[in-house]
Amino acid sequence: MTASSAAGSSKDRVLIFDTTLRDGEQCPGATMTLEEKLEVADLLDAMGVDIIEAGFPIASNGDFEAVSLIAKRIKNATVAGLARAISADIARAGEAVRHAARPRIHTFVSTSPIHLAHQMRKTEEEVLEIITKTVTQARNLVDNIEWSAMDATRTPIDYLCRCVDAAIKAGATTINLPDTVGYATPDEYRAMFKAVRERVPNADKAIFSAHCHNDLGLAVANSLAALEGGARQIECTLNGIGERAGNAALEEVVMAIKTRGDVLPYETGIEATMLTRASKLASAATSFPVQYNKAIVGRNAFAHESGIHQDGMLKNAQTYEIMTPESVGVSKTSLVMGKHSGRAAFRNKLEELGYSLSDNQFQDAFERFKDLADRKKHVYDEDIEALVDQNIATAHDRIKLVSLSIVAGTRGPQRATMRLQVDGKTVIEEQEGNGPVDATFNAIKALVPHEAVLELYQVHAVTEGTDAQAEVSVRLSADGRSVTARAADPDTLVASAQAYLGALNKLLSRGARLHAQHAAE
């Protein structure tokens, strides 16, 4: 069964299932705050995503709260909660999504021999019983049930068909056959869907879904091949983030279908002009930078340096561009704002960039913009996006930078004097270090004692010019947990301090949630 097509269209409708907030957040260091999750969910809904997988409710009280709040506020998309094939998981997921306008429980169980032997430690018959029992339980809670065969691509086809048949008979309305470990090739993945849909008697009662990981760089290719095999839902993430090498990238799937309609006769409900904005918000929320040569949304996706390419572009853009920058939300005019720009112009610019801020958020962003404009000759769109994203990310931080002064140079010693606001109280410290960055981080450690290890420190410029904002990425790890944060400022050392504090705030927030969870238990 395919999803209903839009009126007047001869193309099959493909449902876009976004799992940025669940599978994407499982990427090491990509943990998002509750506020960041809500921002991402709102944008996914606005851009036309059909299903938002909001989290894994049984994982923690924080995940449950996030799924519940997203379920209550999303107006258009179906909201899904993930659950293992365990009764408590399914009950928790059902409770989390029950207030959604369109709730879904997504439950999964391993089906491959290697998983059954070493992870499940169950027989094939026992797993079939588990499928029937847990899908039935889920169907008694909500009408929209997705069932996934974990490691489907390494499952014998005969047994996979038996599992799918049992899931549909128990009430599953969507069947997901994931390439969990990124093992399949497009031909294999297409053939698997075709075989299951042909061999399972009641296959027409469910929508089939593809969920591909990118371990061999084939996630998007496999997802598109699944459509040829009869799948009509693709599971993906913004920027392709996710465990290990990531998932199929939403923006690549959408634009492949949109650009190559001649060989991919499908359509999605995604507003493509919002893709770049969504990519940047996801990058800011997870603090995972987008590689410059990333397809569709990378900084160089529409840049042409080769003389031959530039010559062709000047004569006809279609010589080297198969889609326009505007089609994915990239503005050609970037340099428009300065220190004389007023509130109305700034608000209009934010709307052009896809931001919708509350009055307080707008006031904070405007004040930061005016400060930035006083320090830079030209303020580019990328500068504004960096400062607004940073405002959103740090709005609820316990620790905030008040001021930083640095003494540096060839003679040394390098010294940092820092003033922080910690839970509303101002504290000050002066520390030396092996260079100004080390001195800055030592000052933070003195003011907020912690055992976190610095795993990554990275700097790059947001725009061109000697007065460009420096964007700094910092990754900290503690107790087996890694978090990443980014910050931008024309002063590299200020950006470094803000990025470090952003990561530390995430660690502290995570620690507080775990403490509360253990106390409740």
213 is annotated as contributing to ligand binding: yes
CA distances from 414 to 409, 435, 456, 459, 474 (A): 7, 5, 21, 20, 21
479 is annotated as contributing to ligand binding: no
**What are the φ and ψ backbone dihedral angles of 309, each rounded to 5 degrees?**
-65, -45
Q: Count of CB atoms within 10 A of residue 85's CB?
A: 22
Q: What is the per-residue DSSP string for 218-282?
A: -HHHHHHHHHHTT--EEEEBGGG--STT-B-BHHHHHHHHHHTTTT--EE----GGGHHHHHHHH
3-state SS assignment for residue 414: strand
Ranges of H-type helices in 338-378: 343-352, 359-375
211 is annotated as contributing to ligand binding: yes
Which element (helix H / strand E) includes 73?
helix 61-73
3-state percent helix, strand, coil for the chain, nearest multiple of 5: 45, 20, 35
* Cβ pair 47, 270 in contact under 8 A: yes
Rounded Cα–Cα distance for residues 111 and 114 (Å): 9
3-state SS assignment for residue 473: strand
Please state the residue numbers annotated as binding site.
23, 211, 213, 247
List, as residue ranges, the binding site for Mn(2+). 23, 211, 213, 247
